[in-house]
A and B are shown apart, each in its own frame.
Chain A
Amino acid sequence: MIRLPLVLFFSAGLFSVGVYGVLARRNAVLVLMSIELMLNAVNVNLVAFSQLLRDTILAGQVFALFVITVAAAEVGIGLAIVILIYRNRETINIDEVNLLKW
């Protein structure tokens, strides 16, 4: 049996890695993957809490299933937009996507 604080620290760590990736990485695909890490931290949390609370309707686990589905859909949308940008600009560095400002 893994203890709850351990799981929570793990998920907080995962979330922080994701936030760092979003802020530090410049490649759009890597930013996307960092966001996936953040969403997975959420899933770890939800499942762990659901187990801890002995939730009879399993709200946390069902929530996690929906998060997985939505995350998959969003990656699909994100990659579509990234491909569009690559076709038009030949780059996916988000610092170079800067036509619009102020």
Chain B
Amino acid sequence: MLETQAVDYHAILPELIVSGTILLVIVVDVFLGRDRKWWAMPISLVGTAGALAATLTLIGERRETFDGMFVVDPFAVLFKVFFLGTAIVVLAISLRYFREGRYFQGEYYFLLLTAFLGSLTIASSRDLLMLFISLELVSAPGFLIAAFRKSDPRSNESGLKFFLIGVLSAAVMLYGMSLIYGVTGTTRLDGIAEALAGPAGEGPLPLAAIFMVIVGFGFKVSAVPFQFWAPDTYEGAPVPVAAFLSVASKAAGFAGLLILMFLGFGPLSEFWTPIFFVLSAATMTIGNLLALQQTQVVRLLAYSSIAQAGYMLLPFALVGGSVGNDRAAFAASMLYILIYGVMNLGAFTVVVAIARDAPGVLVSDFAGLSRRAPVLAIGMGVFLVSLGGIPPTAGFWAKFFIFTAAIERGGLGVWLAAIMVVNSVISLYYYLAIAKQMFFAEGEDRPLASPALLTGVAALAMVAVIVLGVYPDLFARFPPGATLVP
């Protein structure tokens, strides 16, 4: 017989606080007058900050509850702090955009927080069922907020494409998960790893299952050849939502992928490393080549984020050597995701500020920005240089860790490292094209009115990128031992 288990409420406190805030936001919204609907944002902000404080009390803890389906360890805490920080930034850059557009603000913050709740539980999932529900919790509100400008056909289209691809990928991934369950007899990741190391791991069935799961995640993290939805969705969605999709949604997908590949499918790494080799090489190359031709900045950042996903996928192709190699690969991928999050959020913050003035956000709209809004221009310059991987910014170290991990692994890793270096050079062309517009092109002379909130967030992200560039092991040291490699 099953016994009732005590729930460890401290372990799930951040999720509880966010859930409470979600309910509060949607209830309070009903009672607010038309001009006060934006109050939903400060309420969400307080709730998110509370959840962040609760997460900080869990540093260094190792807890598990719900029969091991939900785990708090340094890896989970690190990602939760990252997701909650992202939530605060996305909330801050959403306020003006949605208030001035008079969209359904209560519903928007409700959906946004729900998506972040999903990303919090992903980091703690150690079970296929939990992982699936968390992923859906991130995606499903995402479909709706992508289509949030209801009367704009482009936003509708963005939502439809994201929805169809999202549900299709979920179905493929689920079919793979159901086969994994059939082969191994459990949905717990530790049990799956144990079973796959034994006779259950033989034959084509587990391989087909893993392949389907990887395809499902390929859609989620927009890896080539499953990337085509991303540029359309980012361009059509409201700009703060594009920031959310390209950072939080993508990082959530990668967190799930890290957990699944390293904890669950580790014993069959010989089968899946070649898949990641192809995915990674194709994703960074094609993402970069298509980004070269873009004139619309959100679309350019979309292709850039596809290319960046290629770098994040690279360490997965390095698994299977010594334990030391695996650890280096894991840390490299994780650090890249987190650092990418900081610099990309910063870039999107500047884009939100520009979009208030020029809704089309073309590259030429950045002309003369250094004279119109110096703080934003310097910030954007730092983010672009960092995305391109030039020292002394955080982006350089992110690439450096992947590069050294690949070289130390040897074999095909050296090839991947070479492809990555070539791609970084290509990417500089389009990143610096924007910088050139900002600092050297002649543009309008009237100053750009940027809300203090946006300028502040951009300045903060800029400081973070530079500090991480000077002390690159900040993420690696805090909290210590955030690895899933035994």
Residue of B nearest to A39 (CB): B171
Q: List 30 A-B contacts (CB under 8 A).
A: A18-B171, A22-B164, A28-B164, A35-B164, A38-B168, A42-B171, A53-B185, A57-B2, A59-B186, A59-B187, A60-B187, A63-B129, A63-B132, A63-B178, A63-B187, A67-B174, A74-B136, A74-B170, A78-B163, A80-B144, A81-B143, A81-B147, A81-B156, A84-B156, A84-B159, A89-B153, A98-B157, A100-B157, A100-B232, A102-B293
Chain A interface (Cβ < 8 Å from any Cβ of B):
15, 18, 22, 28, 31-32, 35, 38-39, 41-42, 45-46, 48-49, 52-53, 55, 57, 59-60, 62-63, 66-67, 70, 73-74, 77-78, 80-82, 84-85, 88-89, 94, 97-102
Given known contacts A49-B182, A84-B150, what 18 new A-B pairs fall within 8 Å (CB)?
A32-B167, A35-B168, A45-B179, A48-B182, A53-B185, A66-B132, A67-B132, A67-B174, A70-B136, A70-B140, A73-B140, A74-B167, A82-B160, A85-B157, A88-B151, A97-B161, A100-B235, A100-B236
- Name B166-181 residues within 8 Å CB distance of A: 167-168, 170-172, 174-175, 177-179, 181
Instruction: Indicate the member of B129, B168, B171, B293 with the most A CB atoms within 10 Å.
Output: B171
A22: chain B residues at CB < 8 Å are 164, 168
Q: Which of A48, A77, A98, A99 contacts B163 (CB 8 A)?
A: A77
Do B154 and A99 touch across chains, with their CB atoms under 8 A apart?
yes
User: What mask results when residues 426 to 461 of chain B are scored 1 for a CB within 8 Å of chain A, else 0?
Assistant: 000000000000000000000000000000000000
A67-B174, A88-B156 given; A59·B129 CB < 8 A: yes
B48 within 8 A of A: no
Query: In the complex, A73 Cα to B133 Cα: how many Å?
Result: 12
Do A45 and B147 touch across chains, with their CB atoms under 8 A apart?
no
Query: In the complex, A88 Cα to B236 Cα: how many Å?
Result: 15
Q: How many residues of B contact A (CB 8 A)?
A: 43
Chain B interface (Cβ < 8 Å from any Cβ of A):
2, 128-129, 132-133, 136, 140, 143-144, 147, 150-154, 156-161, 163-164, 167-168, 170-172, 174-175, 177-179, 181-182, 185-187, 231-232, 235-236, 293
